[in-house]
Each structure stands twice: as structure tokens, then as C-alpha cells.
Structure 1
């Protein structure tokens, strides 16, 4: 069946305004029906039918108690999983054709109960990690949320750095068990889709108390699987490690930086990739690290895409007998394939070509693109029409204007089918193609080099097999627009001004406009006012003033003088001398332990020769994103033609990125984009520990202390220390290994020879080998205790819990060696002297810090010299009072990012001290990378501070009150770099609060 459509046809085929959607119906839902919606606009109105699993639902011929049609919607009453699950489509039809809706699926959701069997008690040693298995019941859909109940409902465990609940398996992971973890645990599963929750039978976790809690290296137990994601989706990758101390987790992407829109939460356990793109595909790695060791895990993220239209069909009206090609282009990953439907029936694949349209080709066409991730439809109506020519909708313009010696095109576009033949007349003269007159294929008339003689009336005649029509316009010829003053090429130094001239003559009956463009970009004087201004000396001029010209203003400038009839153009080139542009494509080659080879492409010299290149570097421990340092290169001087260099004196096993900038006679140029981050090879340590000391303990043990080496000097994995001992009279070296890179003390408990000299030295080691030993420190042993007491003991309070104590050292005369001093301190009226706190220090020290004291208390302090034979006599008691404690309340901290995303503002409420607390003198702010222990410390007496906004990464800001009694409790906030920030704007109240605070502080 087909319709012969003429110009009078006003109807149209079915258009879907609402299509059925995939539905999940809970098996135990109280709602007894499912509604599949289908709303169609059509003229005349369309009839609607429904199909289920490729079978038509015939409600009239075969009535069904479950199915009913309400409008165009299909209602399923008392749904049955065995009968009604499956695929549904809505089919709409009228006289113009048939369309089929997108396929919608009905599934039945459920969440089964946990088994009622009792679970066995889980025993774990204190300090060890534990994994509590959820073993969830079967469910649909699989998108559920896991939580754990501790002892009683609804006391849910809040995940933190020590505990983590995997949303993939449901298991509860405890990095290190503590005695407080004892109790009953139950896995709680919720399905937000069907609104149902179930929980398991409780079972007990019993941590076994240990006399000495062991340390364990990081051990990753939560590992994200190989992941497939759809472009535009949000993806979360899980990674959690057991270990003692608690491991720090860091994320990286192999061979590239993490995507700009990423977030890290749950103390590093979750990596959120927001709005993933195809370029985010790759291998992702999480690294868990503590002082006992490191573990890492790596897996691939694949990013694919559901079909999206790059080009699709639209309603089309074509003449009978004409040619037509219908095509659709879809993008996606994998690449979608295309198929067609016409009036609901399959109609081929790929591209549809019609060499001579007939009325039978009219109908509703559907282009369908599909891949593994989905299916999309594009619907359109094709009408094959025929009608006599008519100028009712698009007549020839009544008044036509042209410029002398110019070109005029008079359009003739009547509605007609099939395509008509065209005849043009000027007055009564019939026109034909010549050197000045050309009749286009679409009926338009082109006249070249027009003069006053060409003025008059022009009529277009159109005729086909169904009729004919004509339309007339009158042509007037005006004076042409001509450039009278043209701009000249100019060479300007950056920062200067220059003027480009432009004037023109034109027909006085028209207004003239001057339009300036640079390299095809039209200059907008309202938005580009900072550098561009138009100067109009008189009506027929439009000079261009370029102010404070910069190198990016160089280009090809065009002035266009334009009237409603014609235009004239003239161009000039502007060259700008300036500082160098950024070098390009900085990449790292030939990575070694202390050097790399850099290669780059030369940047623009901006018309002044380059004289030098500078290489800069930034390592892993650079806190500030702009903390770039000039690198040492070979050769040392890199001239203006240099495109490669060897960067030397780097730290082994260190993450670096590099950038380059050039210099010319005007100064330093713009820096290149940083290279991809690389890691130098590992190497044997070359530095030795410092401040190595030793002394004999009260029980005759040798105690060795040193300052731990900074991480940048580890030079490799598995860093630790080797402590060496040797008697002066013996060549045999005894040594012990300390595997903790942050260790600063070792106790040698074996029997030692009295009245002897012990030489001590310490060195570092890693997976590549051992570094150099430190300088030798000598310790003397003795079998006679000291006989003199320290004199002039004096103490001064530092905080509410700390004090400094000094004394005059005891003069050492063999054999009364002094190996160290014991300091005892206790509260005069509240503590038993026998339970006094004790501190031991080396004999070379005559002062120390006393810690863990009670605030606002009266203390007695005593100092004694000792050696391996025992303690000497006590000093006279020194009395002192500790300070009052700092306020115990945390600061309320707020953050605000400037509109330019360049500055981060932190401000907080003032803390007032109570009568029994220390006065607040100011505030201390620590700014550090998340996962790192060290950072920059700032102090201020104000209630705010601002920082340059970091570009990437997560940063932790810790703020505390600073008092004479010590520092108050920490308030912490986490901020993300500008590349991933997505702060909500401050509400009006918050903005008012910020203004009031700044006014009070004198901003």
C-alpha cells in the first residue's frame, strides 16, 4: 500500500514521544502491575500494537486477564515471571507508514535470604590482618550495596584507613586487628532497585592479645578486576591492603598521568574516574606501602562506547523520479553496524540508494545502529511528491540591488515536482547563457560585471508536466565599494602598539561597516577590547589599533569594508618580536640510575634568535606544583639550537618529570608541557646515616641511635640499616640488620666485655646492595658505677605535657666511665616516686625533652649518671610546673576556591580558651600531599590563609591552634587539584560569612 502525496498533503507519519523502558519488577512487590509506556504523535492518529518476544499481543482476538491497553500504554496486571518476562516493542501505524519502538526488557528482581546456618568464630592475632567473608545470597539485579553490622542493628561499621568493605565481594577487610574489634559481625546487603535488605547470621571475631604486637608488610587483598567501562560513565576501582603499620595506598596509571577528572576516597582505597573517556583506557596500578614493605597490583581498564549518532536520517521530501541516498553514521566501540527497517520490515544494511524514486518508496524508515553495548534508532519519513510550480512560498525578491562592475545572483526557487524547466526574461527579452549571463541548475540567474544598463525587471518562468508559474523582481545598480587606504605589513616588538589603516569609498545611500579579522577569526571589539580598538577618523574609515601587542597577535589581518550591496577587502601581515615560545614534545629516553636523556623540538623564536635552553626538573617530593628546579645537564650550557641534553646528578629510584624553556635577547620564554613522569633506575645507596651515637644501657645492653635517612636517599626498594660492632682489640665485625627504613634505634643485648672500647658504625642497604658505613662512634664499658652526681639541674616548661631539662655533666675519669644519664620525673603530690617516668640519654648529651607529662601540674625532676655497672648518686631535686593545656575543641574549617581556580582560600572560626586552658597565640597549618607524612608548615595569627591552587593530585591541610601549652587538636580537610576540582559555588550565606570575616580581619 502507498499514498500519492501532492502539495496539499498536511498529515505525517507516526513519531514516538515516549517509548517503553527496561523495567525491573520486584517479585514480592506490593504493586500488582507493570506499565509499559508508548506515546505517539501522528496525523491521522496511529493505531498501536504491542509485541512480546516476537509475538503480537492480540488483545481483541485473544483477550488476556493480565494484559490491557490504556491509551497506548500496555499494562500487565499480576505479573508472572514465567509468562511476562522478556522483550517488548510498541508498533505504531497510520496511512503514512509504520514504526517500531526501541526494545524494552521486563525482568523480575529478587534478593534471597542468607542461609541460617551458624558461622564459626574467627580468631586473629592482634596486629594481624583479617578478612570477614560476606558470601552474599543470589540476587537480581547485581547492583547491591554492602555494609557490616557490629554487634547490634543499626550499628554499622564506618570504613576508615583500617577497615574497608568491598562493594564487589561484600567482604570486610581489617588491615590490622585491635583488641577493640572483638564482637559479633553480620553482613548487610541492600538492593536499591527493589528496595529490599537482608543480613547474615552474626558470627564472632576474637582478636588474640599479644605481648608484643608484630609488624607486617603491606599485603593487597582487595584487587580490582579487569574492568570494562562505557565512555561517559563514572568508574570506581577498589584496592585495599592489610598490614601493620597501616599501609598508605597510592594510585598511578602506567606510562601516563592519572586522568584529570579523578578522585581518591576512603583513605586511598577507592579511585573514582569521573566521566571516563577513551584516552583513559590503560593499565592502572595501586601501591600499598608501610615501613615493613610494599605490595602493588596492576590491572587493565578498557573503555568502550555505546552507539551514538554522528549522522542520521531526517524527514525528507523528494520529487518523483529523482535520486536519493539514505545513510546513517554511528560511532562507538566496538564500531556499530547499521541495518534498516521500512514500515516495520527489514530493508537492508549499510546505505540505501534510490536511482529513480517512485511513490511506492514513500514510507517510514528506521535506521538502527547496534553494538555489544546497546541499540539506537533514528526514524524519518520519506515522501515522494509531485506538484505544479508555485512561487507562493518563495517568490523572486521584488527589489534587487547590485554594485557596479560586481556580480548579482537572482534566486529562483519555486516549489515544484518533478523539477521544472526555467526561462528568464529581462522585460520582454529572453535571456540565455553567455559570458555575462548564466542560468544555474537550480534556476538562479547570475549576472557578471553589472552596469547601469542592466537595471530593470527580471522574470523567472518555471514549468513542469503538472503546470507552470512565474515571479518578477526589479534590479537597481549602485556605486561599488572601493578601498582607498590600505594597511601595510608591520613588525612590532611585544608590548608596543601599532595601527593598521583602512578607508573606503561607497554609495552614499548606504551605510558602511568595517570588519577586521585575523587569520579568519573575526575580531569582536566588545570582548577583545583589551588589545583591539577601532579608530574611526570619519564615516568612511575604520582603522585598527592593536594595544600592548603580544606574540599571539601576529597573523594575517584583513579589513572588509561592507555595505548591504557589496564589500571590498584588503590584507596585511603583522609580525611580532617576543620572548620564545614553548619547546614541544619533551620526552625522556635512555633512563639510567642518575641520568636520563631528554629530547624536544625547538619552539618558536618569535623573530629573535634563541640563545640558550634551560632544563628544569620536579621530583616526587616536590610539594608545590610550581616547585621546579634547574637541572644539571651535560653539556652544562645548552645553546639556542639544542634539541637534546643529558640530565645528570639525579637521585636513583626517584620519580621525575622534566620541562624545557628557551631564552632570547628579550628574556625567558614559556615553559614546555612537562614530560611524562618517569622513575630512575635503582642503585646502591651512596649516603651514610648521620648523628650515630651509642651508649650502654642500665642492663648492660649497647644502645645505638642515628638519624633516619630521608626517602630520596633510599635509592631502591627494601631499604634498611646494618649496624656494625667491633671491639677495639678485635678485627671481627659483628653486625645486625634493621629492616625498618624509619628506624632510629637498635639495642644489642648480647653479653659485652667490661672495661672495653666498642666501635660502632651504621650503613644503609637496599635491594641493589649496601651503602657506605657512617663514621665510627666509640662506646666504653665499665664495671664501676659513677660516683658523682650531676649538678645545677634546671628545667623549663615547653608545653602542657613537655619540658626541657639541663644539667652539668659528670667529669669522666677511667674507670668511672659515664655511658649516659637517667632522668626521672614525677608529680610531687600525686605520684609515687617508685613509678616515676624515666628517660635515658647518651653521655654526650646534657639536656633532653621530657614528654607525656600532665598539664598544670607540680613536678620533681632528678638526674643520675650511669654506666654498665649501674647508677651513680642522684642530683638534687629540681621543681617545675607544667603549663595549662591548649583548648580541646577542634576548629571549624571552611574552604573556598577563587573563580579563576588559581587560589585556594582556607578560613576557620576562632577558638577561645577557658579559664583552665592556655591562651591561643595563633595557628599552625600543615600543607602536604595525601599519603605523605611531610609537607610545608605555616604559622599565622589570622583566621585565614591562602595558597596557589595545586594543578593535580590530592592534598591534606591540617590546622590546629598554637598555644603556650602546646598545639590543639587537628582539624583536617582534603582538597583536589584544579584539574579535578568540582566545587559547588558558595551559597549567599557562606559568601556573606566570608566577607564579614575578611572585614573583621582587616582584609
Structure 2
């Protein structure tokens, strides 16, 4: 005990050790091996346990919460699903808990749906069926409280700015929230499975897994002539290493790219030599291995072209001094896009609106003058350049084409009024591109005739600030928005004021951001027992709203209702999964005007006879007289087996139970573990766990020794874990109930400080002594 206290006082040495641990463990590899030394001290202290985050549970104070967006279900059905994990449907017992729920929903529920709770409304209170408590502090939305004398389920509903309580229906289907106390997390029988589950491999990365794309092909534009080659590239991860195939559009079908000649494929790279306009098409990459096939998003290969101006001389443009005027560039065909420049009299005198503040060059190609000067008179030329807007770095160009129009003569007449109030032209504010897309850059132009200097300012009329990262150009006449999001949609107002006349004008435009589909609820890999039920859901946002198509191993999948396989919009359900029929790669495709986006996941249907090879029981453990001990039995098996415990060869005849009954000596948990309480000397012996899952049987044993001392009955073992996942290292102490004990967990002989190192958490209750 003195040694432990002395080490805790040595802060400098501890910090040095902590730095060593950070360098050696956190940054060393993608997988970590953890070696623990445990020191057992007899002190009075409480610990705190963690929620199984890798199974989707979120912790708040002394409880764990699981937000189930899919499938939507009635209140009674949601209660049953929560109870399967030893949890209950949500009960709200404090404002802090209510605040935690609403904050999570605001951050994560993009669909803004209603969420069912266990609450039942009463006249001035809510009864929570989940934990049998009553709340008299209510959080109903305005007008959302039930009428006197009525009782309805309580739901969380979005009001437009926040989530509050509302009146639900017992027959309507909702998303739901399960809740379980931290002390009861051992009741959660669902276990985290990775690709190595049931496989004879050391690491999950060595197990077979289907292809998933790490790099998608991008739209590419070819501008100019004499381009020697163009490449489209994709990259997928998988084991075995995936092979690649490229396909191209032929009408409504996809056909293989003709290899040989000008087309070559190297791993995931498609190279087209001496590209021609006949190569303009949509291309898609397909990655395959022994597990299945996955599709990439499609990429458009485009060729730029620029037409010619009509050589008919342009009409003279005449305007009065101090008045406003515009010159329009003649029409010229261009693909995919074009940019404009103007010069006066000579190519040495290009118009520069940032310096010639009474001029403005719009993305439409028009040249504007807010108030003409006699010096503006002259010959004006419009220069058009070929451009590929929205392609980013995926532009292949040897030389960019450009064309110059016939000259416009601008004649300025003198005389007339000298003072004009500002007037924003009807076509402004103007948004470019006209259909802006999420993730792209947008500019909004504003221009007014009038006596200068003219001062431009911008705002939103919905009481929201301008988006982060915005900037201005051309004397504030252009508002730039970078990497726009859907939330940037809304009304934008341009305000202009003349410092000479002190008069002003304003105009508003509605910015609508379009979006290629992106997944808010993507698919996740599933490792299911044979005969179990698969319920897969995907959810994508987009503007316009997307439609859904399902794919299995690269082919459209419509299901088979007669076989219990139902595809309905963004949901896929298989009532009883089969190994040969259902295993493979699945994709949910979400499509709108801007393209298709895929969410990809693998379904492994497992049929594994029980085995203790990778998870053997400890051959001997010690426990304290009058204390308690937990003997673990956790074989690899699919489906989950039935458990039978024997002591010295005699069946203990136990049935699984979650709650300890009064006077129970032996308790079999649903996860197969055996708890023995109030240990006596005659509890010594060999405990055998026999398992049977209908596919096979297996057994293993542990010899229990009962001592009149405090002991470590279950010591931690070396473990490997993926970065950012939760590891659980088991450690259990057995002691007399008269002694309150605390497990101190240490790393490299330095006591872990749970306050200074919050990534570590000790267990409590039936998991007391374990380290998360």
C-alpha cells in the first residue's frame, strides 16, 4: 500500500512514463498489444464503467443509450427489442438527461423524425414504463401536451429548432431509444464480430473480405487538342486483392471497355491513349474477388469544344454621360463551360473592375458601366475562353482554346443629369453557377446603375449569418461562398448605397443548393448466424431527394418475396439468412439528377460449430472464501449455443437469468458465464462448460480453488484491437464480503489515473476490476 502511494506522488516520473506509453503504443501500429500488471489494494473507492461503443451505445452519466433509427416500430415492439439486451425503452428522469437526448438528436438525426419513448402521458405528469418512475417536470412542445383525461405515448418530435415532447400513437411506427444502467451492461449479449470471427487467422486484416472502394473515379474534362492520354482511376481494398474491370455506357446498359488498342487497364487504372471525341462516355469500375463484386460511382469523360463568333459587325452602342449602360458579348457555343474577358481598343488594356470601379464584368459575359465617363468611349472586344467548371484538378489540357469577338463601338454623349440614385438591375443578384451543388464554390453577383461611389453590403434575410469562409470581390459586388452545404441555402440580400446622393436600393435572391446523394445512414458489415434475420437500412440526403436501388455482387437486386427476401426502397430484409444463397457484397445505390452514390457492406452468414481453440477457459482460478467468482465460457460459435454447466461431472441444472434471485448460489448469465456467490470450501472442484448449437458440440473446463484470502480470480490476457475501437480487458477479484476492495490497473508499473487519462475506464458491478 505504501509503495502504491509513493508511486502516485511521483508526478514527474509518471509523466515521463506516460510519454513513453504514448510514443510506443498510440503511434506505433494500427493494432496494439496491451500488457497489464494489476495491483490489488484494499481501499474504499468506487469505479466507473463504460458503454460498449462498438455496438452503438452512447454513455451519459450512469447510463448507456442506443439510438435505433431503423427499423421504425410501434412502442410495444420497441420495448421487446430493448429488453433483448437487458435494456428498457427510454425513461427521462432529469433535465440534464433530456438535454443529452435532444443534443444527440439535433446532431445526428438528419431526417428529423419522431422518436418513441416508454413514457405514457397523464394529466400533469408522465409515467415511464421503462423504469417505473414518474416525471412532473414536462418538456412538451407548445400546444403538444395531451388534453386532460387522455393518455398517449410520449415521443421526441422536432419543432423546427429543437426536439421536445409530443403526443404519439400506440399503433404508429417510430425510431426508438434503448437505455440501460452502466452496472447492467453485462446483460448486453450481442458481441462485436469482425472478419476474423470463426476464421483460423491471427488478425482481422488477414481474413477474407470483399472489395470496398478507397478511391472513386472522377469526372474528367479534356480541353484543347493533341492530348496524348487520359486516365481514370479507382482503388479497392479486399482480401484476396481485388481484380478490376471497367465498363462503359451503351444505351441503358453497361458493356465492358474494349481492351487492347487504345484502352489498357493496370490494376484499377484505365488509360485511354490518343483520346477521341468518340470516347466521350460514362465509365464505371468494378472490383471483384472470391467474396463478391462491388461497383464504383460512374465518371463522365467529356471533351471541350469552343465554337466561333458570328463575324457580322456589331451595332454601335450609345449612352449618355453619367448614365448606366451594358454591352452583351455575342453568342458562342462552348462545352462544358466558358469564361469571359473584355478589352478596350488594344489587348494591352483589359478591363479590370477592381480598379475601374464603375465597370463590372458578370459571369454571364455582359460588361456593365454604373455611370459612363467620356473616357469610356472606344472599341470593345469580348474574349471567350474554354473552361470546365466543377472538375477541380481533373482537367486534361495541352492548350486552352479562346476566341475574340468583332469590336463593339461605345459612343458616350456629353451633357444630361449628373446625379442618379442607385438602381439594382432586374437580373441581379445573380447566382453562378445557376444550379450550385453541395461541396462546390458559388458566387452571387450584384450590380446597380447610379452615381458613385457605390457601397455594397450583403446579408441574409432569415436572421442567419453569412456562411463561414465567405469573401468578397470586385468592390463587394461579388459574394464568394466556398464548399457550400445544404444549410447555406436561403435568402441573400444585396444592399447598395450612394455616398454622393445618400440614396440606396436593395434586392434579394433565393440560393438553392443542389446535392449529389450522400449517406447519412450508411450500411455496415454484418456477420450473422445462419437462420437469423437480416434487416438492412440505408438513408441518403440529396437535392433533389434520391431514389434507391439495391445491388448484390454488382448486379441489381430486387429480392425474392417467396423466399422471405424483401427489397423496399431503402430497406432490405431477409427473414432467414442462408450461407450459400445470401453471403456476398451488397450495395445501396442512391440516385438523383447529379449521379449515383453507393454505400457498400459485406454480409457473412456464419455456420460454425462451437470451438474453444481461440477462446479457451482458464485452466485454474482462485477465489476467496465467502466471496464470489465469475467463470467465463465464451466459445466461438454460430449460431449462439446453449450452455450447460457441470461440477465434477454433475449437471448443475441451471437456466439463464439476468437478475439475481434471493439466495441464489449459482447463476447462469445469458452470455454463458457462471457466477458463484458466498463461496464455501466445498465449491472447489472442476467446472465444465458444455455448449451445443445444433451444428456441433464442445466443452472446456476450469478448476476452482477456494482460499481464505483476497485473490485475482480472472487475470487479464494480451489482446489486439483496432484503433478507435473499444477494448475490454477482464480482471476480477474475489474477496470476503466484509472487505471492500478496489482493483488498481497499471501500465508498465505506473498506476493509471482515470481522471487524467479518460480514454481508460474501470468496470463496475459484475464487470468490476475490468478495464475499458
Distance 1:22 1:373 in 2: 12
Residues 696-738 of structure 1, C-alpha deviation per residue, up to 9 Å, x if partnerless?
xxxxxxxxxxxxxxxxxxxxxxxxxxxxxxxxxxxxxxxxxxx
The residue number in structure 2 matching 1:34 is 230
Which of the residues 552, 555, 567 maps onto 1:342? 552
Say whether the 8 Å CA contact 1:393–1:415 is kept in structure 2. Answer: yes
The residue number in structure 2 matching 1:107 is 302
The residue number in structure 1 matching 2:697 is 468
Classify the secondary structure of the residue corresponding to 2:581.
Answer: helix
The residue number in structure 2 matching 1:692 is none
The residue number in structure 1 matching 2:575 is 355
Which of the residues 207, 214, 226 maps onto 2:418? 214
Q: Is 1:157 matched with 2:351?
A: yes
Q: Is 1:424 matched with 2:645?
A: yes
Which of the residues 503, 513, 519 maps onto 1:309? 519
Say whether the 8 Å CA contact 2:325–2:370 is kept in structure 1. Answer: yes
Say whether the 8 Å CA contact 1:145–1:167 is kept in structure 2. Answer: no
Distance 1:181 1:92 in 2: 61
Tell me the C-alpha RMSD between the 2 structures.
4.1
From the superposition, tell whether residues 562 and 411 of structure 1 become closer, same or farther in structure 2 (CA, over 3 Å): closer
From the superposition, tell whether residues 267 and 7 of structure 1 become closer, same or farther in structure 2 (CA, over 3 Å): closer
Q: Is 1:263 matched with 2:471?
A: yes
Q: Is 1:299 matched with 2:494?
A: no
Q: Is 1:237 matched with 2:440?
A: no
Say whether the 8 Å CA contact 1:175–1:246 is kept in structure 2. Answer: no
Normalised to the residue count of structure 1, the TM-score between the two structures is 0.44
Distance 1:510 1:8 in 2: 34
Q: Is 1:16 matched with 2:213?
A: yes
Say whether the 8 Å CA contact 1:342–1:363 is kept in structure 2. Answer: yes
Distance 2:626 2:380 in 1: 93
From the superposition, tell whether residues 137 and 401 of structure 1 become closer, same or farther in structure 2 (CA, over 3 Å): farther
| Greater fraction strand | 1
Say whether the 8 Å CA contact 2:649–2:688 is kept in structure 1. Answer: no
Say whether the 8 Å CA contact 1:49–1:56 is kept in structure 2. Answer: no
Distance 1:369 1:452 in 2: 65
Classify the secondary structure of the residue corresponding to 1:180.
Answer: helix
From the superposition, tell whether residues 408 and 508 of structure 1 become closer, same or farther in structure 2 (CA, over 3 Å): closer
Q: Is 1:121 matched with 2:326?
A: no
| Greater fraction helix | 2
Say whether the 8 Å CA contact 1:50–1:56 is kept in structure 2. Answer: no
Classify the secondary structure of the residue corresponding to 1:360.
Answer: helix
Say whether the 8 Å CA contact 2:357–2:475 is kept in structure 1. Answer: no
Q: Aligned ranges for residues 504-515 of structure 1 at < 5 Å?
A: 510-511=743-744
Following superposition, the deviation at residue 448 of structure 1 comes to: 5.8
Classify the secondary structure of the residue corresponding to 2:447.
Answer: strand
The residue number in structure 2 matching 1:53 is 249
Following superposition, the deviation at residue 340 of structure 1 comes to: 0.9
Q: Is 1:25 matched with 2:229?
A: no
Q: Aligned ranges for residues 742-761 of structure 1 at < 5 Å?
A: none
The residue number in structure 1 matching 2:454 is 247
Say whether the 8 Å CA contact 2:762–2:768 is kept in structure 1. Answer: no
Distance 1:74 1:280 in 2: 37
From the superposition, tell whether residues 376 and 57 of structure 1 become closer, same or farther in structure 2 (CA, over 3 Å): closer
Distance 1:65 1:188 in 2: 39
Which of the residues 438, 442, 447 maps onto 2:667? 438
Following superposition, the deviation at residue 237 of structure 1 comes to: 0.9
Residues 909-945 of structure 1, C-alpha deviation per residue, up to 9 Å, x if partnerless?
xxxxxxxxxxxxxxxxxxxxxxxxxxxxxxxxxxxxx
Classify the secondary structure of the residue corresponding to 2:576.
Answer: coil
Q: Is 1:197 matched with 2:402?
A: yes
The residue number in structure 1 matching 2:540 is 330
Following superposition, the deviation at residue 524 of structure 1 comes to: 4.8
Classify the secondary structure of the residue corresponding to 2:513.
Answer: strand
From the superposition, tell whether residues 120 and 386 of structure 1 become closer, same or farther in structure 2 (CA, over 3 Å): same
Greater C-alpha radius of gyration: 1
From the superposition, tell whether residues 77 and 230 of structure 1 become closer, same or farther in structure 2 (CA, over 3 Å): closer
Say whether the 8 Å CA contact 1:176–1:246 is kept in structure 2. Answer: no
Say whether the 8 Å CA contact 2:227–2:275 is kept in structure 1. Answer: no
Which of the residues 600, 604, 627 maps onto 1:383? 604
Following superposition, the deviation at residue 233 of structure 1 comes to: 4.1
Distance 1:255 1:274 in 2: 20
Say whether the 8 Å CA contact 1:20–1:38 is kept in structure 2. Answer: yes
Classify the secondary structure of the residue corresponding to 2:524.
Answer: coil
Normalised to the residue count of structure 2, the TM-score between the two structures is 0.56
Say whether the 8 Å CA contact 2:360–2:447 is kept in structure 1. Answer: no
Distance 1:441 1:242 in 2: 79
The residue number in structure 1 matching 2:339 is 145
Which of the residues 355, 359, 365 maps onto 2:586? 365
From the superposition, tell whether residues 130 and 410 of structure 1 become closer, same or farther in structure 2 (CA, over 3 Å): farther
Distance 2:684 2:381 in 1: 95
Q: Aligned ranges for residues 399-410 of structure 1 at < 5 Å?
A: 409-410=630-631
Following superposition, the deviation at residue 426 of structure 1 comes to: 4.1
Following superposition, the deviation at residue 239 of structure 1 comes to: 0.4
From the superposition, tell whether residues 469 and 135 of structure 1 become closer, same or farther in structure 2 (CA, over 3 Å): same
Q: Aligned ranges for residues 817-896 of structure 1 at < 5 Å?
A: none
Following superposition, the deviation at residue 423 of structure 1 comes to: 1.7
Distance 1:404 1:371 in 2: 68
Say whether the 8 Å CA contact 2:198–2:636 is kept in structure 1. Answer: no
Residues 397-425 of structure 1, C-alpha deviation per residue, up to 9 Å, x if partnerless?
56768899987654432112343332223
The residue number in structure 1 matching 2:614 is 393
Which of the residues 370, 384, 398 maps onto 1:175? 370
Residues 59-96 of structure 1, C-alpha deviation per residue, up to 9 Å, x if partnerless?
7xx77744344444333344343x33222222333432
Which of the residues 185, 204, 212 maps onto 2:380? 185
Following superposition, the deviation at residue 215 of structure 1 comes to: 1.0
Residues 338-357 of structure 1, C-alpha deviation per residue, up to 9 Å, x if partnerless?
32111222213432222222
Distance 2:668 2:702 in 1: 16
Following superposition, the deviation at residue 140 of structure 1 comes to: 1.6
Following superposition, the deviation at residue 329 of structure 1 comes to: 2.5
Which of the residues 124, 133, 149 maps onto 2:328? 133
Distance 2:374 2:630 in 1: 92
Classify the secondary structure of the residue corresponding to 1:118.
Answer: coil
From the superposition, tell whether residues 400 and 218 of structure 1 become closer, same or farther in structure 2 (CA, over 3 Å): farther
Q: Is 1:281 matched with 2:489?
A: yes
Say whether the 8 Å CA contact 2:429–2:494 is kept in structure 1. Answer: no
Say whether the 8 Å CA contact 2:590–2:598 is kept in structure 1. Answer: yes
From the superposition, tell whether residues 126 and 419 of structure 1 become closer, same or farther in structure 2 (CA, over 3 Å): same
Distance 2:762 2:637 in 1: 39
Residues 946-1003 of structure 1, C-alpha deviation per residue, up to 9 Å, x if partnerless?
xxxxxxxxxxxxxxxxxxxxxxxxxxxxxxxxxxxxxxxxxxxxxxxxxxxxxxxxxx
RCO (CA 8 Å, sep 6+): is it higher in 1 or 2? 2
Following superposition, the deviation at residue 269 of structure 1 comes to: 0.7
Residues 621-655 of structure 1, C-alpha deviation per residue, up to 9 Å, x if partnerless?
xxxxxxxxxxxxxxxxxxxxxxxxxxxxxxxxxxx
Distance 2:365 2:263 in 1: 40
From the superposition, tell whether residues 278 and 159 of structure 1 become closer, same or farther in structure 2 (CA, over 3 Å): same
Following superposition, the deviation at residue 135 of structure 1 comes to: 3.0
Q: Is 1:412 matched with 2:608?
A: no
From the superposition, tell whether residues 14 and 525 of structure 1 become closer, same or farther in structure 2 (CA, over 3 Å): closer
Q: Aligned ranges for residues 719-734 of structure 1 at < 5 Å?
A: none
